Amino acid sequence: MAVNKRVAIHTLGCKLNFAESSSILNKFRQRQYEIVSFDDDADIYVIHSCTVTATADKKTRQLINKVKNANPKAKIALIGCMVDNLSQNSSILEKTDWALGNKEKMFLPEIIENEAINDSIFNSRFIPAFSTYDRTRSFLKIQDGCDYFCEYCTIPYVRGRSRSAEIKDILNQLDFLVDKGIKEVIFTGINIGDYGVNQNFSFADLLYTISKQSYPLRFRISSIEPNLLSDEIIELVASSDAFMPHFHIPLQHGSDRILQSMKRRYTIDYFVKLIYKIKKSIPDAFIANDVIVGFPDETDEDFRNMFDLLKDLPIAYLHVFPYSDRPLANSFNFKNKIPANIKKQRSKILTKLSKEKQENFYNSFLNTTSKVLWEAKIEDDFIYGYTENYIRVATHYDANLINKISNVLLEKLDKNIIIAKILNDEK
> How far is residue 294's CA from residue 322's CA, in Å, rounded to a whole number?
6
Give residue 116's pLDDT band: very low, low, confident or very high (50, 70, 90). confident
pLDDT score recorded for residue 125:
74
Share of the chain above pLDDT 90, in %: 88
Topology at the third CATH level for domain 369-425:
OB fold (Dihydrolipoamide Acetyltransferase, E2P) (2.40.50)
pLDDT score recorded for residue 120:
59
Mean pLDDT computed over 98-102: 94
Strand duo 405-414 + 369-379: pairing: antiparallel
pLDDT 10s digits, 269-321 = 999 999 999 999 999 999 999 999 999 999 999 999 999 999 999 999 999 99
pLDDT score recorded for residue 190:
96
Share of the chain above pLDDT 70, in %: 97
> Counting beta carbons within 10 angstroms of the beta carbon of residue 19, is it exposed (0 to 12), middle (13 to 18) or buried (19 or more)?
buried
Q: Given phi > 0 = left and psi -120 to 50 = alpha, else beta, which region is 289?
A: beta
> How far is residue 79's CA from residue 66's CA, in Å, rounded to a whole number?
17
Mean pLDDT computed over 112-140: 80
pLDDT score recorded for residue 426:
62
pLDDT 10s digits, 214-252 = 999 999 999 999 999 999 999 999 999 999 999 999 999
CATH number for 6-123 (one of 3.40.50.300, 3.40.1640.10, 3.90.1200.10, 3.40.50.12160): it is: 3.40.50.12160
pLDDT 10s digits, 252-278 = 999 999 999 999 999 999 999 999 999
Q: Where are the domains of the chain?
A: 6-123, 137-363, 369-425
> Counting beta carbons within 10 angstroms of the beta carbon of residue 141, is it exposed (0 to 12), middle (13 to 18) or buried (19 or more)?
buried
pLDDT 10s digits, 338-368 = 999 999 999 999 999 999 999 999 999 999 9
Topology at the third CATH level for domain 137-363:
pyruvate-formate lyase- activating enzyme (3.80.30)
Query: Which helix (H) or strand (E) element contains residue 26?
Result: helix 15-30
Give residue 3's pLDDT band: very low, low, confident or very high (50, 70, 90). low
Number of Cβ atoms within 10 Å of the Cβ of 294: 20
Give residue 123's pLDDT band: very low, low, confident or very high (50, 70, 90). low
Q: Read off the DSSP letter of residue 87.
A: -
